[in-house]
A and B are shown apart, each in its own frame.
Chain A
Amino acid sequence: MGLAQRINAALRRVPTWAVYLAGGVVPFWYLWLGLTGGLGPEPVKALEHALGLLALQMLVAVLAVTPLRDITGVSLVRFRRALGLLTFFYVTCHLLVWLFLDVQFLDAIVKDIVKRPYITIGMAAFLLMLPLAVTSNNLSIRKLGPKAWKRLHRLTYGAAVLGAVHFVMLTKTWETEPMIYLGLVAALVAWRLPWAKLLEGAWGLRRRNA
């Protein structure tokens, strides 16, 4: 048995509820740190940023499931729904902290969403995730049919790109960390492009022009 098969066999023994549980407690752990002084003198921003980063990391993990399987044979497909729903949970926590602990005033919230491009983009990413979270269950797959469901869930790519851009835009200078996430997301989305068809098309075009 190869290494990939052995890893897959071990992964089959991990129940998905364990992933939900382990991922689900992280925001509460951060909240606890924030309440007890563990997030420094400005816990609101620290909590907001920690949750946003967590969401982006989970989104990268979700996008990595397919390439990981294609390249190494290790399959996390069984956990993809859990990872996706955890991403949505983190994003929701991030949004709630921003609304209730950070901005606090309704008029300021509305103005921020309309006037600040990085917040507009962040909100757009959240809205794209909403139908994904709602349809992350077997019933929805049956009702929509696997083809339509798959098409709908391509919104993940849009949400990931917007999320990474949102991160890049909020720093005061060009920083490496957000650029790394943007690069990762771009590479993982590019992985999905139908390269064979695109190359064939370009080849065909060149032949016709010759």
Chain B
Amino acid sequence: MAGRYRSDLNWSDVTPKAEWLNRRQIMTGAAALGLGSIAAPALARFDPVASAFSTDEEPTSFEDITSYNNFYEFGTGKSDPARNAGALQTEPWPVVIDGLVDRPGTYDFDEIVSGQTLEERIYRFRCVEAWSSVVPWVGFELKDLLDRVGVQPSAKYVAFETAVQEEVMVGVQRGVMDFPFVEGLRLDEAMHPLTIVAVGVYDEPMPKQKGAPMRLVVPWKYGFKSIKSVVRISLVEDEPPASWNQLIPREYGFYSNVNPERDHPRWSQKTERRIGEGLFARRIPTLKFNGYGEEVASLYAGMDLVNEFY
């Protein structure tokens, strides 16, 4: 944490909450309807510090990033998570950290967050389905958590697992894919300063449809790598299974770095469309590593990211 760029300013200091909550409604001229109900200022929960890793692009509105989600545990439709995730039980939230670590155990969410300096990270978010958004996450570097539990030298990968609460998860009940949803990172990817554990957006606790109470965010990879509602973090020696990769290996690789040069077999990855910009939104070019190449390209030096390590 020491020596990192700091500033006392963050997003919530710049834009009044009513405005970011309702940007799309304001755009469509329906502001008068919406403003009254959200005018009361909520308590800022985190008051995060700003980060030099943040983009200066305009964040997508809170309403849009919380109403258009993929969270297959709660259904496969984009609006299903917003409709169904409310029943997710997040208190208490025990997280198992195990495998090749010095201090394995079950840590409660509050314990994990306490002592971490929370930062605001405004990241581009690129879904494998060729839509994207800009999200002001609140979180801390995964490295800070891994350092606290002590990673042993033999660990090469980190495996993650999403909660399964079958009684409230319609997607799990219907068996739309294998659950628990799992994901994995190479250790150097996990330790990279861009990789964060996010606990909020827009200075609000993480909405349930976005992966409450804590989720991974790896901004240079397709969105599904940023696994939601994490209940287990395991340090391991071999490449761990990743759900989408296991389901359709030809379409979703283990690495899944954002890469306009490698198309999804069923659609092009050369361009993307920002959500929340209406019916006439122009497609914008997709950037390699989602525009984070300067920070992360060196992790993949000498690797064929199109045919082999996609």
Point out residues on A near B: beta carbons under 8 Å. 31, 34-37, 39-45, 47, 101, 103-105, 108, 111-112, 115-118, 169-173, 175-176
| CB nearest to A171 among chain B residues | B76
- Given the interface pairs A108-B268, A108-B271, A173-B177, the reply to whether A40 lies near B280 with Cβ below 8 Å is no
Contact A175 B176 (CB under 8 A): yes
**Chain B residues positioned under 8 Å from A104 (CB to CB):** 271, 282-283
Please report the C-alpha to C-alpha distance between residue A172 and residue B267 in the assembled complex, in whole angstroms: 12
Sorting the interface of chain B by its residue count into under 10, 10 to 19, 20 to 34 or 35 or more gives 35 or more
Total A-B Cβ pairs within 8 A: 69
Q: A41-B63, A115-B263 are in contact. List 12 more A-B contacts (CB 8 A).
A: A34-B279, A35-B279, A41-B276, A43-B278, A44-B279, A104-B282, A105-B271, A108-B271, A171-B76, A172-B129, A172-B248, A176-B174
Indicate if B204 sits at the interface (CB-CB under 8 A). no
Please report the C-alpha to C-alpha distance between residue A104 and residue B65 in the assembled complex, in whole angstroms: 24
Contact B267 A112 (CB under 8 A): yes
**Chain B residues positioned under 8 Å from A175 (CB to CB):** 76, 176
Contact B273 A37 (CB under 8 A): no
Contact A41 B281 (CB under 8 A): no
- Given the interface pairs A101-B279, A173-B76, A175-B76, the reply to whether A41 lies near B270 with Cβ below 8 Å is no
Which residue from B67, B76, B263, B268 sits with its C-beta under 8 Å from A41? B67
Which residue from B30, B68, B280 sits with its C-beta under 8 Å from A42? B68
**Chain A residues positioned under 8 Å from B276 (CB to CB):** 41
Indicate if B19 sits at the interface (CB-CB under 8 A). no
**Chain A residues positioned under 8 Å from B131 (CB to CB):** 42, 45
Please report the C-alpha to C-alpha distance between residue A116 and residue B279 in the assembled complex, in whole angstroms: 24
Indicate if B168 sits at the interface (CB-CB under 8 A). no
Contact B76 A40 (CB under 8 A): no
Please report the C-alpha to C-alpha distance between residue A173 and residue B78 in the assembled complex, in whole angstroms: 14
Which residue from B63, B268, B279, B282 sits with its C-beta under 8 Å from A43? B279
Please report the C-alpha to C-alpha distance between residue A116 and residue B264 in the assembled complex, in whole angstroms: 10
Which residue from B67, B247, B267 sits with its C-beta under 8 Å from A40? B67
For chain B, residues 254 to 310, give those with C-beta under 8 angstroms from any C-beta of chain A: 263, 265-268, 270-271, 273, 275-276, 278-283
Indicate if B221 sits at the interface (CB-CB under 8 A). no
Contact A111 B275 (CB under 8 A): no
| CB nearest to B280 among chain A residues | A101
| CB nearest to B128 among chain A residues | A172
| CB nearest to A43 among chain B residues | B279
Contact B275 A42 (CB under 8 A): yes
Interface pairs (11), CB distance under 8 Å = A40-B79, A41-B65, A41-B275, A105-B271, A108-B268, A112-B268, A169-B266, A171-B76, A172-B76, A173-B177, A175-B176
Please report the C-alpha to C-alpha distance between residue A112 and residue B30 in the assembled complex, in whole angstroms: 37
Indicate if B7 sits at the interface (CB-CB under 8 A). no
Please report the C-alpha to C-alpha distance between residue A86 and residue B129 in the assembled complex, in whole angstroms: 30
- Given the interface pairs A111-B268, A171-B76, A173-B177, the reply to whether A44 lies near B28 with Cβ below 8 Å is no
Indicate if B24 sits at the interface (CB-CB under 8 A). yes
Please report the C-alpha to C-alpha distance between residue A41 and residue B281 in the assembled complex, in whole angstroms: 11
| CB nearest to B66 among chain A residues | A41
Contact B24 A37 (CB under 8 A): yes
CB distance from A148 to the nearest CB of B (A): 38
**Chain B residues positioned under 8 Å from A103 (CB to CB):** 283
Please report the C-alpha to C-alpha distance between residue A119 and residue B176 in the assembled complex, in whole angstroms: 24
Indicate if B25 sits at the interface (CB-CB under 8 A). yes
Q: Which of B176, B273, B279, B282 has the most CB of A within 10 A?
A: B279
| CB nearest to A101 among chain B residues | B279
Please report the C-alpha to C-alpha distance between residue A116 and residue B298 in the assembled complex, in whole angstroms: 32
Please report the C-alpha to C-alpha distance between residue A42 and residue B131 in the assembled complex, in whole angstroms: 8
Please report the C-alpha to C-alpha distance between residue A104 and residue B284 in the assembled complex, in whole angstroms: 11
Contact B68 A40 (CB under 8 A): yes
CB distance from A208 to the nearest CB of B (A): 47
**Chain B residues positioned under 8 Å from A45 (CB to CB):** 131
Please report the C-alpha to C-alpha distance between residue A44 and residue B272 in the assembled complex, in whole angstroms: 12
**Chain B residues positioned under 8 Å from A111 (CB to CB):** 268
For chain B, residues 23 to 63, give those with C-beta under 8 angstroms from any C-beta of chain A: 24-25, 28, 30, 60, 63
Please report the C-alpha to C-alpha distance between residue A105 and residue B129 in the assembled complex, in whole angstroms: 17
**Chain A residues positioned under 8 Å from B268 (CB to CB):** 108, 111-112
Contact A44 B281 (CB under 8 A): yes
